[in-house]
Structure 1
Amino acid sequence: MRDVGAMEPLATFCGNCDCGCPQLFVDETAPEDRRVVITDDFGQQIRMSTDQFGSIVQEAKAGNLDAVVESAGVPSAG
């Protein structure tokens, strides 16, 4: 498994500050169950399979995560 510093991020989830925003990576050298990497503002990592990440994406597309975002007080993107 590579260090995230050696990988190009696929997405940055805030980008409006210099605080070390969460980022999404794919580590092609990692085992399949740890290939998707999400980092937080503090350098911690979550690693998951592409199937698990795909499940999160599908839930978000279906609107099933909207209530979580609303209850956290996050402004709507729309």
Structure 2
Amino acid sequence: MAAREPLEHIITFCGQCNCGCPELFIDNAADEERRVVITDDFRARIQMSLEQLHVLVSDVKEGALDKLFTAEAVS
């Protein structure tokens, strides 16, 4: 079995430009609580566990950020 890359690319958010879009990676060499890596346009990064990512995605799906976008649409 081949060794997995330490930083495994999962998805690029946007990807329609060359501006350094946010990306999500799995760091196979990191401790469980820092396994998920999200980078922003400036290559800054945050790290979290898969469990934390699951909670974040669930909250967003349930509408936790809807009012942010509604308020922005009104502006």
**TM-score between both structures, scaled by the size of structure 1:** 0.76
Post-superposition CA distance 1:17-54 (Å, at most 9, x none)? 10110000111210011000000011110001111111
Q: Is there any run of 5+ residues in structure 1 with no aligned partner, and where?
A: 1-5, 74-78
* Separation (CA, whole Å) in 1 of partners of 2:59 and 2:66: 9
Please give the secondary structure, in 1, of the residue aligned with 2:57.
Answer: helix
> What corresponds to 2:67 in structure 1?
67
Aligned residue for 2:47, secondary structure, equals: strand
The 5 A counterparts of 1:29-68 are 29-68=29-68
CA RMSD of aligned residues (A): 1.6
Larger radius of gyration: 2
- From the two aligned structures, give the one with the greater strand fraction: 2
Classify the secondary structure of the residue corresponding to 2:41. Answer: coil
Q: Which residue of 1 aligns with 2:22?
A: 22
- Tell me which amino acid in the other structure corresponds to 2:20: G
Secondary structure of the structure 2 residue equivalent to 1:9: strand
Q: Structure 2: how far apart are the matches of 1:70 and 1:36? A: 29
- Matched residues, number: 68
Deviation at 1:65, TM superposition (A): 1.6
Residue matched to 2:3:
none
